[in-house]
Structure 1
Amino acid sequence: MKMFSVALLLLLSLGAQAQTRLVSIDGSITEIIYALGAQTQLVGVDTTSRYPKAATELPDVGYMRQLSVEGILSLAPTTVIATQDAGPPAVFEQLKAAGVDVVRIDDEPSVAGIQAKIAAVAEVVGAVDSGQQLQQLVEQQVAEARAALSSMRGKRALLLLGAGNRGLMAAGQDTQAQALLDMLGWNNVIDHHSYKPLNPESALAAAPEIVLVAQTGPLEVSSVQQQLALTPAVKDDRVVLLDAGLLLGFGPRLATALQQLEQALVAQPKMAGQ
């Protein structure tokens, strides 16, 4: 409680300043802020904000679902912007009581959801025109990248969350991974909900033609190939590892993720066969 009081006094002492002091809670929001050129307003981010590298050098207020009001207030923010799945809810109520503007944004895993996030962030940082330009760029690039992957539509796909020492977790229904597969027209071979551990026997029975691994920790493609050795995806060399924030963050870099998938699954095999 003493820490809360000290942080509150610090916040109030700086309250008269006109400069925006922004704390971003969600990696996709942080990416948008940088894409809009508004990073000078940032004074802190959460642990999911790993891109660009400069964001990792800012003060870290912790994991987005386990936030501390003292940690945030210690940065004397004027505004905290977060997605709806950040929490706990009481933290945001305390921030409002302390006079901090709190902006909550829906995190729908879709192109429309990205566009909505861009619009909301652009309004907060005072870059509406730049936001509209970024929206147009994202829409165009994603459309082009999806078209380049159209030959893969209808494939049976398995998306794994590579969680370092926790092993591989298979993405099921009602996940951002499912939304990505739906966007690409790929069929998820996993029927269960959320993320659950996957054993080699289940992977073999599922017979995925494509395996995507969203990395959150150190992981080698050879390790995944060994665990899934008899699946069609491994036999056809269609196992792709990408950073989880890039692949599933549904931020302004979505097109970059799709372009990397196209390079690995479509362009590269063609080059090898020439």
Structure 2
Amino acid sequence: MSAAVASAGWGNRVRGVWWRAVVALLAVTLLAGVTACGGGADSRGGRGPATATLTDLDPVPVGPEPTPTLPVRVRSFDGGEVTVTDASRIIAVDRYGTLAQIVYALGLGSKLVGRSTSAGFPAVRGVPNVAGGNGSLNVESVLALRPSVFLTDTTSAAPAVREQLRAAGVTVVYFDPQRTMDGVVPQIEAVAGALGVPERGQALAQRTRAEIVAAGAAVPAPQPPLTIAFLYLRSTAITMLAGPGSGADALIAALGARDAGTAAGLKEPFTAITSEAMIGAAPDVLLVMSDGLTSVGGVEGLQKVPGIAQTPAGRSRRVVDMSDAVLLSFGPNTGRVIAALSQAVYGTGQA
């Protein structure tokens, strides 16, 4: 064996040991930054209701405010190419507040002048909301804020809205609306690139990737795996069971569990709950957003939703809720979200 090969092998072993140590340290750090309040637990998951909580809902900026290098020309997710010349007034709108979280974590929070309702983390609650009462984008509100760049996705901005923004001369960059674990890091890098801070994006992407790996490494692996159902609730008028492509399926997979909706044969991301669907899905755990759970009257009210009481999760009251502001955000908080949910689902006692 040559000295060069031996040296390379030794270097790879050292890097491997270093990376495992980093992952282990991050796992401890992530678990120290979350709490899970609720009932006791066993190896199959928490008994009774539990709340997965981050000690701080705000994304942590990866560094001080950067100075963007502009102009930049980027490819928008709608297929066009956009030149961004100014990032001094940013509006970021999407269904789960992901884009605003990324902007803030890049260190550009002071430049955020508009957001969506879903971007509800404390640091931006004073930033104007440009969504209407039904959650739809309000073009007049957008134009009134005079954005230098508008970040959104192809789901939040309907075709008619896109035409209005184009006609008004707003610089708009569209992003992928899909919620997947594999998409978290590319989305961060794409937003950073559009704002002229690619190096800051690489740093945030690296940190986020390491936190996701560390959180995943700490997830228990009961056999057989738990079956978890994500329910989207907005009063008793809107009760939906998540399935493939919802984003909840990817989050549940990261918890080492089976997505109940997918396992039950659902074909759509969200399907109205029926007794037959819930009983057939037979979830061990119900995962919900905190505001949604409140809207149906808490765990007691949830038991009245068709089919819930007849499931294993309903009978044992095994319900895990988490803040709407972070649960399906798939942004820079993703590693912390997985760690908090893991502790709530598999934890062993009171926070």
TM-score class normalised by the smaller sequence? 0.7 to 0.9
1:264 aligns with 344
Partner of 1:221: 299
- Give the drift of 1:119: 0.9
Kindly indicate whether the alpha-carbon contact (under 8 Å) linking 1:156 and 1:210 is maintained by their aligned counterparts in 2: yes
Secondary structure in 2 matching 1:103: strand
Q: 1:92 to 1:264 in 2, by over 3 A?
A: same
Structure 1 stretch displaced more, 29-38 or 196-205: 196-205
User: Is residue 2:134 matched to residue 1:67?
Assistant: no
Pairwise CA distance, 1:80: 0.5
> What is residue 3 of structure 1 aligned with on the other side?
none
Distance 1:33 1:107 in 2: 16
* Residues 152 and 173, structure 2, Cα contact 8 Å, conserved in 1: yes
User: C-alpha separation between the residues in 2 aligned to 1:168 and 1:260?
Assistant: 24
The answer on whether the counterparts of 2:299 and 2:317 sit within 8 Å (CA) in structure 1 is no
Which residue among 272, 292, 311 is the counterpart of 1:197? 272
Structure 1 residue ranges without an equivalent (≥5)? 1-16
Q: CA deviation at 1:183?
A: 3.7
Shift, 1:139, TM fit:
0.9
Larger helix proportion of the pair: 1
Q: Distance in 1 between matches of 2:289 and 2:230?
A: 7
Q: Any unmatched runs of 5+ in structure 2?
A: 1-84
Contact 1:61 1:68 in 2 (8 A): yes
Q: Distance in 1 between matches of 2:86 and 2:213?
A: 40
- Conservation of the 8 A alpha-carbon contact between 2:86 and 2:148: no
Separation of aligned partners in 1, 2:206 and 2:199: 11
Classify 1:230/1:262 alpha carbon distance in 2 versus 1 (closer, same or farther; 3 Å): same
CA 1:101–1:205: 2 relative to 1, 3 Å: closer
Please name the residue that 2:108 is paired with: 38
Larger RCO (CA under 8 A, 6+ residues apart): 2
2:228/2:257 contact within 8 Å kept: yes
Change (3 A) 1:256 1:18: closer
Output the CA distance in 1 between the equivalents of 2:214 and 2:299: 27
Shift of 1:265: 1.9
Q: Mapping of 1:66-85 within 5 angstroms?
A: 66-85=136-155
Deviations along 1:53-107, one digit per CA (max 9) or x if unpaired, are 2322211111597323322111111110112212122323332333321111113
Deviation at 1:243? 2.4
Higher mean C-alpha deviation, range 95-104 or range 217-226: 217-226
Equivalent in the alignment of 2:93:
25
Structure 1 residues 90, 104: closer, same or farther in 2, change over 3 A?
same
SS in 1 for 2:118: coil
Distance in 1 (CA, whole Å) between partners of 2:253 and 2:220 is 12
Corresponding residue to 1:243 among 292, 300, 323: 323
Question: SS at the partner of 1:241?
Answer: strand
TM-score (normalizing by structure 2): 0.64
Aligned equivalent of 2:14: none
Partner of 1:56: 125
Distance 2:212 2:303 in 1: 29
* Structure 1 pair 202–107 and aligned structure 2 pair: CA distance change class (3 A): closer
Aligned mate of 1:171, from 242, 245, 253: 242
In the TM superposition, what is the alpha-carbon distance from 1:18 to its structure 2 partner?
6.2
User: Secondary structure, in 3 states, of the residue corresponding to 1:126?
Assistant: coil
Per-residue deviation, 1:29:
0.3
| Partner AA of 2:282 in structure 1 | A
State the 1:235 CA deviation: 4.9
Q: Which residue does 2:77 correspond to in 1? A: none
Q: CA deviation at 1:185?
A: 4.0
Worse-matched range after superposition: 224-233 or 29-38? 224-233
Counterpart of 1:115 in structure 2 is 185
Distance between the aligned counterparts of 1:224 and 1:77, measured in 2?
A: 41
| Residue identity opposite 1:155 in structure 2 | L
TM-score under structure 1 length normalisation:
0.80
Aligned position for 1:186: 257
d(CA) in 1 for partners of 2:209 and 2:303? 34
Give the match's secondary structure for 2:241: strand
Which amino acid counterpart does residue 176 of structure 1 have in structure 2?
Answer: G
Is the alpha carbon distance of 1:244 and 1:18 closer, same or farther for their aligned partners in structure 2, counting shifts above 3 Å?
Answer: closer
1:145 aligns with 2:218: no
Residues of 2 paired with 1:196 and 1:99: CA distance? 38
Q: What is the CA distance between 1:213 and its match in structure 2?
A: 1.3
